Amino acid sequence: MADPLTSTELDDALASLAGWEVVDGSLHRELKFADFPEAMAFMTRIAFTAEKMGHHPNWSNVYNTVVVDLSTHDAGAITALDVDLAKKIDEVAG
C-alpha cells in the first residue's frame, strides 16, 4: 500500500505539477476544454491510464469542464499514486 506523503514530499510534488492544489485532503485540478466532446475524450484517455494503474480519480464534468480530485482511499491521504496520476493527467491535458 502507498504511504501518505510527508508535507515536504507533498510540497515537492506540487512544485512538479501544473495547476494542482490541495483541497480537502485531495490533489485538485480544474481543467477546461474546447467543448464537451474534448472533455469526454480527455476523461476516456485518463480512464484507461487509471484502470491500468488500479488507481481511480474522483472527478466530475459539466460541459467543457472537468474537475479532478485525487487521493488514496486505502491510505486516507495523498500518496505517490496520486502524484503519478496527476502527472499523467498533466501530460494528456497539455
Residue ranges that bind its own copies, judged by CB under 8 A: 36-37, 40, 43-44, 47, 50-51, 56-63
Beta carbon nearer to its own copies, 21 or 36: 36
Can you tell me the distance from the alpha carbon of 62 to that of 16, in angstroms, rounded to the nearest whole number?
Answer: 27
Burial (Cβ within 10 Å: 0-12, 13-18, ≥19) of residue 71: buried
Which residue has cell 484507461? 48
Q: How far is CA 67 from CA 5, 60, 89, in A?
A: 22, 5, 12
Instruction: Tell me how far, at minimum, the Cβ of 22 lies from its own copies, in Å.
Output: 18
Beta carbon nearer to its own copies, 48 or 94: 48
Instruction: Tell me how far, at minimum, the Cβ of 1 lies from its own copies, in Å.
Output: 17
Instruction: Tell me how far, at minimum, the Cβ of 44 lies from its own copies, in Å.
Output: 6
Beta carbon nearer to its own copies, 16 or 41: 41
